[in-house]
């Protein structure tokens, strides 16, 4: 099975991307984790540009193909001004007509240096994912407060209890997909 680790950060060296890399390293055996970290390649969404996969802009078609081939998604957002980054909302708008998230098992994380861990952004993200029909997996969905104490600049997990929580999140997400 394949889990798509979907970073909602537009930033190079992002804490959210480090978080997803750390989670991937803890995935159960038999799980492949693919990464989407190309959010800045997407054009601004407009319904005027929104066509079927074979006529969509190349970056959009690539995103839709990655979503299509994933059995489950682990999405993570930073918090910008109490919301998700505009670039992440833009990516999700491109996925509406494709139905990419419909019934897709999805873990929903946020991370921030603050004590609420980006929970306000995560709340907004959950609302959008509800509109898209994602099947949110509660055990794989939580905010990560004080992210700089949990991961170092290279994405190494610094906190054993947190590593355990991340590992359990990946196990829960993988368990949503029947073995083939």
Ligand X SMILES: Cc1cc2nc3c(=O)[nH]c(=O)nc-3n(C[C@H](O)[C@H](O)[C@H](O)COP(=O)(O)O)c2cc1C
- Interface positions with ligand X (CB under 6 A): 9, 11, 14-16, 78-82, 112-114, 118
Minimum separation from the CB atom of position 31 to ligand X (A): 23
Neighbouring residues of 126: CB distance < 8 A, sequence distance ≥ 6: 108, 136, 141
Please work out, in degrees rounded to the nearest 5, the angle formed at the alpha carbon of residue 18 by the alpha carbons of 13 and 20. 135
Indicate the residue among 78 and 105 with the shorter CB distance to ligand X: 78
Minimum separation from the CB atom of position 144 to ligand X (A): 10
Minimum separation from the CB atom of position 62 to ligand X (A): 21
Q: Are 58 and 79 in contact (CB under 8 A)?
A: no
Minimum separation from the CB atom of position 171 to ligand X (A): 24
List the structure tokens of 117: 């861990």
Indicate the residue among 14 and 176 with the shorter CB distance to ligand X: 14
Indicate the residue among 85 and 105 with the shorter CB distance to ligand X: 85
b (16+ CB within 10 A) / e for 57-80:
eebbbebbebbeebbbbbbbbbbb
Indicate the residue among 71 and 79 with the shorter CB distance to ligand X: 79
Q: Which residue is nearest to ligand X (CB)?
A: 78
């Amino acid at each position: 099975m394949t889990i798509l680790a979907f970073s909602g950060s537009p930033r190079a060296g992002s804490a959210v991307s480090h978080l997803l890399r750390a989670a991937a390293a803890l995935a159960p055996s038999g799980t492949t984790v693919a990464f989407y970290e190309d959010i800045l390649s997407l054009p601004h969404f407009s319904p005027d540009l929104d066509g079927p996969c074979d006529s969509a802009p190349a970056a959009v078609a690539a995103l839709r193909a990655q979503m299509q081939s994933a059995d489950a998604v682990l999405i993570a957002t930073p918090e910008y001004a109490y919301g998700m980054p505009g670039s992440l909302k833009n990516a999700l708008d491109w996925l509406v007509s494709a139905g990419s998230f419909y019934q897709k098992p999805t873990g929903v994380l946020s991370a921030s240096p603050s004590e609420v861990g980006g929970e306000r952004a995560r709340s907004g993200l959950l609302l959008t994912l509800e509109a898209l029909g994602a099947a949110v997996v509660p055990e794989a969905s939580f905010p990560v407060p004080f992210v700089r104490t949990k991961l170092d600049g290279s994405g190494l997990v610094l906190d054993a209890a947190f590593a355990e929580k991340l590992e359990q999140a990946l196990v829960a997400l993988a368990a949503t997909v029947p073995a083939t």
